[in-house]
Homo-oligomer: A and B are copies of this chain.
């Protein structure tokens, strides 16, 4: 039994290695663009080993994406919990995303072309944030607009910058670069005494 345990431990280790290796490569090169053998060689295991742990390429993608999406969701959740204001929450969100920026960007770009489970996992991150968003919105003195639209507006905005990161931040780090302005602008729109108007 000891043997079995150490064996399966070893197996789990290898699987974990494959998952984290895939994460790195996916972040760098994109998800669809990576071949199974690329992951194998990057992880220093044999090509066949990848199939020992994942029946198909689809399964591997699904698992890797699920694994990291759960992490991102958890991270988002954690950073969001202490937030009492929308500003805090938005910052927390961007902070969470920026920890996984490259990978998250790939998900934004490719999610619709991935196996359904991967897509679902990606959506789940958004649900996690959505929950906190609703909570905070209730507390704040905020316009009586559909919360879901406001949330989607924020998500859309952030994803738009990630999707076009090459245009907005050719040097990389879109989130860091636009963090403040995105947050500020979004919040301004929600503020009561609105904004200074440009009156002709």
How many copies of the chain does the oligomer comprise? 4
The interface size bin for chain A is: 35 or more
Decide if A55 is an interface residue (CB 8 Å cutoff): no
Selected interface stretch from A63-71, A83-91, A92-100, A155-163: A155-163
For residue A182, CB closer than 8 A to chain B, the reply is yes
Q: Is A142 an interface residue (CB 8 A)?
A: yes
Q: Which residues of B contact A189 (CB under 8 A)?
A: 143, 145, 189-190
Distance A185 CA – B148 CA, assembled complex (angstroms): 11
Measured CB to CB, the nearest residue on chain B to A153 is B157
A10 interfacial contact with B, CB 8 Å: no
Identify the closest chain B residue to A198 (Cβ).
B144
The answer to whether B152 and A160 touch across the interface, beta carbons within 8 angstroms, is: yes
Report the bound CA distance from A180 to B197 in whole Å: 25
Question: Does chain B have a CB within 8 A of A6?
Answer: no
Top 5 nearest A-B pairs by Cβ distance?
A156-B160, A143-B195, A156-B156, A189-B189, A156-B157
**New A-B pairs, 15, CB < 8 Å, besides A109-B112, A143-B196, A160-B160:** A109-B113, A111-B163, A138-B200, A139-B200, A141-B198, A141-B200, A142-B198, A143-B188, A143-B194, A145-B185, A146-B185, A153-B186, A155-B156, A156-B157, A156-B161
What residues of chain A have their CB less than 8 Å away from a CB belonging to chain B? 30, 32, 109-113, 123, 138-139, 141-146, 149-150, 152-153, 155-161, 163-164, 167, 181-182, 185-186, 188-200
